């Protein structure tokens, strides 16, 4: 086996090992693990939940989100749960997160254990927590209310109108006391009758007083004995009352100081009540904060539209006993445009032709010249793909730029074969190579077995007999969501 074939075999073994790791990390159901029960959950919104997100019960992971769909204006999730999970009538679901900034997941509430069991495929009602936009909207409404309250206080208490209202309150109190005086004058007879009744009561009390004195003496003796028995507790209670009285006095003094400062215009609240400039500054500050929040929302929204895909692939060229490997990124700036940067380990170098003119001098003025042409393969071990791509149609993409460090173009066409994605690719580059009268052409088909694992087959450089070969290989691809998920698993592991 040639060194190049050994390298290709080593790369294929490495890709198989990586594929096993992907299956383990992403919990792809294979074999016995594939026997899971499916449950459908309806949500008004599932912001932050994607395919492969965790499903948990009481914090324990029991499954994955298999599908995320939109149905009748609401989000519909297909949850793939372990067979041993039991859901009862009354079960529900909700969107939750691991901490304030952690990944979001679907939490299932299994219902009361005494209720009947739900069959597989049952539908659950889901709820979602308030979003960040809802919090910002509430904060904005709160700021508006505070502004209206401060304006009402300033309008009611500040300036001459406030003094007039205080004068009006004093006049009302004066009128109230005058009314009470008149009321007493009008009911003087009733007061005299009450006094007569009190005189009769005092005379009766004089007769009953000796007996009451004896009972009071007995009660005093009883209380004295109780005090003697609970003297220690009584001293503690008196000390607590004395301490509470002291604290109330300090609190009253502090309240008096605060109200005095507010009335004299000291402090932030005093300025807010008495100074129009402070109110205007506060309004300007609230407007600036609102502008900053809007700018932050626009900036975050712009970066959220970017998507990054990473690809690692290796191919074997058995006809020429060589191999080819690539590793790179696709950065999608919107739904129609992306940029590709890849490192390439190509199977061949580039032929270079050297032309020399050799002259022989015989010494007597005679000389003879002839031209010698030599061709040498330029052995280079790496190349670069740097391309820009555009989506012309929903399933058609064109690319242009550097292909293995040479200018070229490419076309990708996406299809569906046996319910699996298939991408057909045609590329042509190096239009000026000297060893062949035709550019380097490459025809490839990429069949995706999973969202992350694919197989490749095709023909490389069919117009150049010395390099022409079928190609067979495999590769892995990750989206930014997959990388964030794996980084989250790694961080929780540490």
Find tokens 């507790």 and name the residue.
233
Task: With cut-offs at 50, 70 and 90, classify the pLDDT of residue 372.
Answer: low
Top CATH class, 307-350+383-493: mainly beta
Contact yes or no for 8/16 (Cβ under 8 A)? no
Counting residues of the chain whose pLDDT is more than 70, the rounded percentage is: 73
Flag whether pLDDT at 123 surpasses 80. Answer: yes
Question: What angle (nearest 5°) sits at the alpha carbon of residue 98, between those of residues 92 and 101?
Answer: 125
Of these ranges, 44-53, 84-93, 225-234, 428-437, the one predicted with the greatest mean pLDDT is 84-93
Cα 109 vs. chain centroid, distance in angstroms? 22
Flag whether pLDDT at 292 surpasses 80. Answer: no
Of these ranges, 35-49, 315-329, 364-378, the one predicted with the greatest mean pLDDT is 315-329
Phi, psi of 375 (to 5 degrees): -120, 135
Indicate the average pLDDT of the chain.
79
Parallel/antiparallel/unpaired status of strands 396-403 and 104-109: unpaired
Task: With cut-offs at 50, 70 and 90, classify the pLDDT of residue 181.
Answer: confident
Flag whether pLDDT at 271 surpasses 80. Answer: no
Contact yes or no for 384/403 (Cβ under 8 A)? no
Q: What integer pLDDT is reported at residue 266 of this predicted model?
A: 67
Flag whether pLDDT at 288 surpasses 60. Answer: yes
Question: What angle (nearest 5°) sits at the alpha carbon of residue 139, between those of residues 136 and 141?
Answer: 110
Structure tokens at 368: 């003879």
Flag whether pLDDT at 293 surpasses 60. Answer: no
Contact yes or no for 332/322 (Cβ under 8 A)? no
**pTM reported for the whole predicted model:** 0.41
Q: Which is nearest to 127 in space by CA: 87, 92, 79?
A: 92
Flag whether pLDDT at 131 surpasses 70. Answer: no
Residue partners of 23: CB distance under 8 A and separation at least 6: 30
């Amino acid at each position: 086996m040639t060194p190049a074939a050994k390298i290709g075999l080593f790369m294929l073994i490495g890709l198989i090992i990586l594929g096993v790791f992907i299956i383990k990390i992403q919990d792809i159901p294979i074999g016995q693990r594939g026997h899971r029960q499916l449950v459908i959950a309806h949500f008004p919104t599932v912001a932050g939940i994607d395919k492969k997100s965790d499903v948990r019960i009481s914090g324990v992971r029991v499954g994955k989100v298999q599908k995320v769909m939109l149905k009748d204006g609401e989000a519909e999730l297909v949850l793939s749960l372990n067979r041993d999970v039991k859901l009862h009538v009354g079960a529900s679901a909700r969107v939750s997160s691991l901490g304030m900034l952690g990944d979001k997941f679907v939490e299932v509430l299994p219902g009361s254990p005494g209720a009947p069991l739900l069959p597989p495929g049952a539908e659950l009602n889901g709820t979602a927590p308030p979003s960040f936009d809802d919090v910002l909207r509430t904060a904005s409404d709160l700021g508006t209310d505070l502004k209206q309250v401060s304006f009402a206080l300033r309008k009611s208490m500040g300036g001459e109108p406030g003094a007039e209202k205080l004068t009006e309150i004093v006049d009302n109190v004066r009128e109230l006391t005058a009314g009470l005086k008149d009321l007493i004058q009008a009911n003087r007879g009733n007061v005299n009758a009450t006094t007569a009744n009190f005189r009769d009561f005092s005379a009766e009390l004089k007769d009953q007083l000796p007996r009451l004195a004896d009972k009071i003496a007995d009660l005093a003796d009883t209380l004295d004995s109780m005090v003697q028995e609970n003297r220690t507790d009584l001293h503690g209670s008196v000390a607590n009352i004395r301490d509470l009285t002291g604290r109330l006095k300090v609190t009253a003094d502090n309240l008096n100081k605060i109200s005095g400062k507010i009335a004299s215009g000291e402090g932030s609240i005093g300025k807010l009540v008495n100074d129009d400039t402070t109110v205007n500054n506060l309004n300007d500050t609230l407007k600036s904060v609102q502008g900053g929040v809007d700018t932050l929302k626009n900036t975050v929204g712009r970066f959220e539209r970017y998507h990054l895909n990473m690809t690692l692939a290796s191919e074997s060229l058995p006809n020429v006993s060589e191999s080819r490997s690539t590793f790179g990124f696709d950065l999608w700036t919107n739904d129609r445009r992306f940029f590709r940067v890849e490192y390439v380990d190509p199977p061949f170098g580039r032929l270079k032709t050297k032309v020399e003119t050799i002259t022989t001098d015989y010494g007597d003025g005679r000389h003879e010249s002839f031209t010698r042409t030599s061709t040498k393969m330029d052995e280079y071990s790496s190349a670069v793909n740097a391309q820009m791509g555009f989506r012309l149609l929903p399933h058609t993409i064109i690319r242009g730029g550097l292909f293995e460090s040479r200018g070229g173009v490419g076309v990708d066409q996406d299809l569906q074969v046996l319910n699996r994605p298939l991408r057909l690719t045609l590329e042509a580059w190096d239009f000026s190579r000297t060893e062949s009268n035709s550019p380097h052409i490459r025809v490839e088909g990429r069949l995706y077995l999973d969202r992350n694992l694919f197989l490749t087959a095709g023909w490389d450089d069919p117009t150049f007999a010395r390099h022409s070969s079928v190609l067979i290989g495999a590769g892995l691809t990750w989206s930014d969501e997959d990388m964030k998920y794996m980084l989250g698993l790694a961080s929780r592991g540490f």
